[in-house]
Structure 1
Amino acid sequence: MELNTGLDEVYSKRVNAGKRVYFFDIKSTRGGDYYLTITESKKKTEEDGKFYEKHKIFLYKEDVNKFVHALNEVVYYLKTVLMADYAFDQFDRNIEDTQSK
Structure 2
Amino acid sequence: MKRNNRDDSVFSRKIRAGNRRTYFIDVRPTRGRDYYITLTESTRKLNGERIERQRIFLYREDFNRFLEGLQDCINHVKEELLPDYDFEKFDRRQEEWEANREGYENKGFPSK
Q: TM-score, normalised by structure 2?
A: 0.75
Deviation (angstroms), 1:95? 5.6
SS of corresponding position for 1:16: strand
Indicate the percent of aligned positions where both proteins have the same amino acid: 45
Q: TM-score, normalised by structure 1?
A: 0.82
Higher helix proportion, which one? 2
1:51-90 pair list within 5 angstroms: 51-90=50-89
Unaligned runs of 5+ in 1: none
1:23 lines up with 2:56 in the alignment? no
Unaligned runs of 5+ in 2: 99-112
Structure with more relative contact order (C-alpha pairs < 8 Å, separation 6 or more): 1
Alpha carbons 1:8, 1:29 under 8 Å: kept: no
Coordinate RMSD, CA, aligned = 2.5
SS of corresponding position for 1:85: coil
**Which 4+ residue blocks in structure 1 deviate beyond 6 angstroms?**
none
